[in-house]
Amino acid sequence: MSQAIGKISTPRTVVVVGATNEVGKAVAQVLTGRGHIVRGVARSLGVALDDRDALASAFSGAGAYVMIPFDITAPDLHRFEDEVGARLAAAIAKSGVRRVVLLSGLNAHLRMGTSLGAALMEERLAALGLHELVFLRASFFMENFAKGMGFVQQAASGIFMTPFRGDPPMPLIAASDVGQRAAALLDATRFQASGSSNCMAAATMPWSRPPRSLAARWGGRSLTRRPHSLRRAPG
């Protein structure tokens, strides 16, 4: 596991990919509060992931927090992840970035499913020979209960649908906690070592027993879980 040591005495410029999502916003807020200059990468901020020139300019002379957007609406998700990853890696290589923190997935080592894009990005960045590189392998975000998978919207039916098995517990973590960890690494004077670092909370939740907080939001109704494919899940 990589550990950051010390705090910097002068401001740095840091690129934050996905600066408008939960983790990216947390990274940007912490770094800005520490006096760093943040360059946000997001279409709404004028730097789109399909604009090679804009990416190269953004990464020039900066450290970077990098992530691969998970776009379930893409016709071919893995092709989309591969293309985005290739553009980001090319921009990093061209700009000479020395320090990169990548948001990866807890099961990236399996190189399949929802973490395939992150796993391929780990390989791309590792091949660049960066001096300071950390993969934050995050577990399932708690925020996904309130958005994305439409759990709250399922209140009308009382059926709790997810694409996951119901029996094994799954570790959860808040996106803001991951963002703070990434910011701390980018803010530090130096790394003790490069490598991967797992980000997950101690608490776990079996999908077969949704938390009481969800039931409370649904008026105390009893919940039923049904196995479902990801493409058929609501939201």
pLDDT digits (tens, 9 = 90+) for 74-104: 898 889 999 999 999 999 999 988 899 999 9
Say whether pLDDT at 205 is over 60. no
pLDDT at 89: 95
More confident residue, 46 or 70: 46
DSSP character at residue 44: G
Phi, psi for residue 143 in degrees, rounded to 5: -65, -20
155, 154, 160: which is closest to 225 by C-alpha?
160
Let me know: does 213 contact 133? Beta carbons within 8 Å: no
Mean pLDDT over all residues of the chain? 79
Look at phi and psi of residue 61 and say left if phi exceeds 0, alpha if psi is from -120 to 50, else beta. Answer: left
Specify the range with the lowest mean pLDDT, choosing from 52-66, 171-185, 191-205. 191-205
Radius of gyration, CA atoms only, the chain: 19
Say whether pLDDT at 4 is over 50. no
Q: Give the separation between CA 118 and CA 112, rounded to whole angstroms.
A: 10
pLDDT confidence tier of residue 188, bands split at 50, 70 and 90: confident
The number of beta carbons lying within 10 Å of the beta carbon of residue 117 is 25
| 13-27 residues labelled b (16+ CB within 10 A) or e (exposed) | bbbbbbbebbbbbbb
More confident residue, 191 or 90: 90
The residue written with tokens 């900066």 in the block is 62
